[in-house]
Chain A
Amino acid sequence: MQPSLPSHHPLLGPDTAILAAQQQSASASFFHNQRTNTAHQDANSNAVLAPASGAMPFTVAPPQAHAPFDAGALAFDAAITNAPPGAPNKHTTYPYVTGTSVLAIKYKDGIMMAADTLGAYGATKRYKSISRIVPAAPTTLVGAGGEISDFQYISKLLTELNDNDVIRDDGVVLKPREVFAYLQRVMYNRRNKFDPLWNSLVVGGVDQATGEAFLGTCSMIGVSYTDSHVATGFGNHLARPLFRNEQRDDMTEQEARALLEKALRVCYYRDKNSINKFVIGTVTKESGMKVSEPFSLSTEWGYDAFVHPTKHALGSW
């Protein structure tokens, strides 16, 4: 937050002054204090980058292999928090509190996005009212599966971007595809640091100027694409086949909602890390952006296949 002064200046506070004093050599860099803050981390990520001899070229094993949420995981946490100074940084190797699929489709008026509100701690339904679909810009929604804390951090980044647009007051606001491009770079940069944000993101919205609907998704390592329908996690296997059959860009709001509810129901039946408490968000050119109050869907558990799951699969399981 020192926009207009060289950072080694005495005005910038005692810490910087000391840093500048220590750097007596003539090479005092303009961005010296920033570099100092990150030097430690950079040195360590270089250490991680250098492949151990005989390592597989395209896989990176974590320092220790752990099954999530067992006693060993707690010991692993202790290893992080009690690490001696100079020890290598430990990065995310698995998520703690997770959200499951996000589903989204284009329709006549814009886009519609759906997700449940669960934050699961392993197999425990730990948080039941988590917002996983949030406004990211005036006409853009972002939905997330994966690590909830990482997503809340991403939401904060987006809030700050927007606040800056509002403060500048020059009429420029982020469009959906700009939010998407930004998030792609954030996710890809973090994977480059071997410190990924453990999320699958869905970006949906409408370009206010053209009225064009936008839908895209990005994974934690930066694999991203746009399409008329997207779904993360389980949704990619369970919901997208339904979307491929039934989604059309010119479907009505009622049809779109019916399709999403159908897909949500299928996901809820088959995904044990989901709950029957959903929100649906919409972005349209006419009525802007809305995220619904949580609602639940009617369910029917009396299907023969549910009651006798092995009936037609004798001997397999």
Chain B
Amino acid sequence: MGELHACDVLVVGGGATGAGVLRDLARRGLRTLLVERGDYGSGTTGRYHGLLHSGGRYVARDPLAARECIAENRILRRIAPASIEDTGGYFVATPDDPDDYVDGFQAACIAADVDCAEIPVTEALRREPALNPGIRRVFKLPDGSLEPWQLIESNIADARAHGSDAWSYQRLVGMERDGDRIVAAMLRDERSGSLTRVTPRFVVSCAGAWAGQIAAMVNVTVTMHPGKGTMLIFNQRMTDTVINRCHASSDGDIMVPVHTVAILGTTEQRVEDPDRYEITREEVAALIRQGEKLFPDLGKMRLLRAYAGVRPLYQPPAEVTAAAMKDGRQVSRAHTVLDHAAMDGVDNFVTIVGGKLTTFRRMAEDTVDMVCAKLGVTEPCTTADEILPNQVPGKTYWLGHRLADHEAEGGGDADLLCECEFVTRPMLDDFLDRHPGCSLDDVRRGTRLGMGPCQGGFCTFRAAGVLGERAGRAGATDVAELADRAILGFLRERFKGTRPIAAGRQLQEQWMIAGVYEGGLGVESLIERETPEASREVVGAQR
């Protein structure tokens, strides 16, 4: 039967939406538990392109989504500045983009309340000289670069400060339904295998593309249409501004500068199973061909990796049309809260579907409004008003912020573990102090260790050494297994990201790193061949 745990609300899924729902419920006085099967943000949230939408991408086809985006964009700049790089965005009309779309773009922006100013092409090219010199018009919008993991962490921290909690590596394995109510949920610890029985008054599914699997546990049908979006990471910021093509959204038409790299997005492809998909060389080639319309030299730039995320797209069954099945972009990015009391006769269960990272707070607010109405809670939503923990008002991040912060604190020498992303030993120790028992993947997402141009070739091994040193001094017995998982997991993950883009300098570096670890360092001796690694579940690489 396992351990028992009672709470007001159980939130399933530790992406941005779940973290936002947790925070909002906690602030309204409901004792809430969030559970996530892996690390926070390891699903779709951590696999997106990093764009803080201005709404410009949706003004023509989905004005409701555009309006929500700009409203949340303004709120996030206020409550989560440390998660945002204020890059600004250009929507550029290339010679291939239709005149009628371009001509109507500014008016459509204004109609949706999205700030939009046309600027001279020469000004845009001066700021972003790698852009296609053949662009005809440029509109400036308040897009930005949004860091998802820190955002999740801030939301969880705020929830904890309000008496709620979040557990990672806890997989929901079943729910018990008694008539019109869910009475219990069973969790399995993905590390120890131990079971916990939770008895919530209410259950909120924030499982995104996996929402159908959660609903099925209580015989409720939620038909998701997982849409795979493939993205490419380049080893340099060929732009400091978010660049969108000014046309009806399509493949390979957005470039987002993210810390030391830049991410080209995206494709849209239906997948059956959000845990199994592959990225093909053809997809990568098609993305680059499209991207070259924005940056003509893109084909010569070094690619670091390809990865994909699965969008939580949803349409009510009656509205599923042949067109929507063919092109996922026709499905609204706006979100829907499914009330399973009205739809399926389960009184204490809702699912939030659709949406996008930029609007996660609004999605949470709408969801929690419904939960509170059902539980008779009248507290209003305060998540848009209060700045998140660990944030300084108005202080967005910028590329050099870590070095600047380090020097502002007096500088001084410290062991630099990850040269690409400026992660020092004290920074890693601080993260490990705050996240006991975390994996190196968690470290990667939490500190950006290994996410720069060398993709972890040297720092992963060092971080594993630090984990080993700390665990050894603390008397832990699984030091070696921790280090194995770190090193093998990193090499596998890196390989997965390189596989669809294997060419040129990146393949050369992949070969060198593999040569170092497999040759002189004998990494294969660490593999336990009998035990399949949990990380193999997702075929596509992470961001």
The reply to whether chain A is a binding partner of chain B is: no
